[in-house]
Structure 1
Amino acid sequence: MQQYSIGLVLSGGGHKGLVHAGVLQFLQEQKIEPQIFSGTSAGALISSLYAVGKSPREILEFFRSVNLFNVHHFSLAKNGLLNAEKFMVYLEQVFGELRVGDLPKEVYISATNIETAKPKIFSPQTKLKEAVAASCAFPGVFSPIMVEGKLYSDGGILNNFPANVIQGRCDFVIGVNLDCGLDYKPANKFAFAPQTAWRAIEIMMSQNSAMQNRFCDWLINPKDVNQYSVFELSSKRLDAIFNLGYQTAKREFAKLNPSIFG
């Protein structure tokens, strides 16, 4: 297997994932170019968009253009609020019939096989649009995605920050983890079963994500990202998330030994 110089790991996080695009903007300006990527959900989407040649600002424009909450996208299916096939239409516009292995950069896309309850890294032969859609299929929001005869949901269920996937594949791992810990919530916030169930999922995902931090040589963990929603719709707030990523990377970069990247 080929050994790379720099790897980049991008966590899930919905529209908060635009932090990743802001980080990529800063890395580009510093002429730091990752050669291998590992991503879950929004991280998988942004890794793939970047790998096909989209600039960070074009990625921002893509997020602005995807109106998932259009009334026509709501699903009558019992297993998801939104029809994942509608999301696939957006993905097909940028990825076409490309397969994961067609990308000029090596990208590892994580999902969860809900039949076997095991994590999945899609093979180079998998259609890129299907792999990304599966990785982004958050339970209860998107219906699960059938890929090559198996049913998949969001990779964040089991590994929202897949740094271990490229451990040993590169000399230096940069990680952008949007999980900054969970804020305190009083008992009255858990009056109904769905609220309690969601909190349990949050705790599980947060703990699993934190365990991956140790695989990163440079961890970028934007503390202010919790003020934003995973379903941000405002262009102004999407811009702010992008800028948060840029400014966090800039601030943390100043703390590094400048010789690390030559």
Structure 2
Amino acid sequence: MPELPEVETVRMSLEPKLVGRRFEDVEILDSRLTRPTDPAEVAAELTGERVAAVDRRGKYLIVRFESGLVLLIHLRMTGTLGHSRNGAVAKSHLRAVVRLDDESDVTYRDVRRFGTWLVLREDELDSYLAARLGLEPLERGFSASKLADRLAGRRAPIKAALLDQRTLAGVGNIYADEALWRARIDPRRTAGELDVPEIRALHRGVRRALEAGIARQGATLRDYRKPDGSAGAMQHEFKVYGRGGEPCPRCGTPIEKTRVGGRGTWFCPGCQR
């Protein structure tokens, strides 16, 4: 699933191509994308709208229009957004096409068809997101003390707590493992039992892992691609994720794989405590 760095990379790529452009024509090819709303209704709402901004909250991409409407996109497991010119739109797994007023196309593809497009009014957006998402880990207001408040009393393993979007918005399986390695914390530790120095280390680890992912334009393992179709590079820089049996880059101990909260989890038993 695309996580915060991948969605932020998509946002940064699409923003200069979308802002100021009008949705000339909208074709939604899969009714699952907008359910329970009829896709023809969503297409009609979006057609003619001019883009004012492209933002992100957690794993959600937010397209804001001058009229006050908002298109909220979640890529889920395998969704990808592309941008192309001259009608060069490949049909494989295509779920939606938006023709812009410069005659370029924004395409949405999704192999597993779990992604969603939701149209809201601007005054509905904050409450919708607040009910589903916790702290935004790259905002200036994200602090170790706020993270401590979110983890206080939690009996779940720290890895599972980080995957809960109501704790930290945008952290998924990859960057949770990478953050915990940076913090030297065993992913099986009980979240509410971390001490103050460990919380501070985890705060730093989360930010550094996410910043590294953005700097390398996301991780392409299977489906994720940038809007121009090229791959990200973070997969070449993983410290532990997917590297079972390889030596830890910090202490040399072989990296192990286990399961935490039902998710495959990689960690170093030598230096993560």
TM-score, length of structure 2 as denominator length: 0.28
Higher relative contact order, structure no. (Cα contacts within 8 Å, ≥ 6 residues apart): 1
Richer in helix (by share)? 1
The structure that has the greater radius of gyration is 2
Q: What's the TM-score, normalizing by structure 1?
A: 0.29
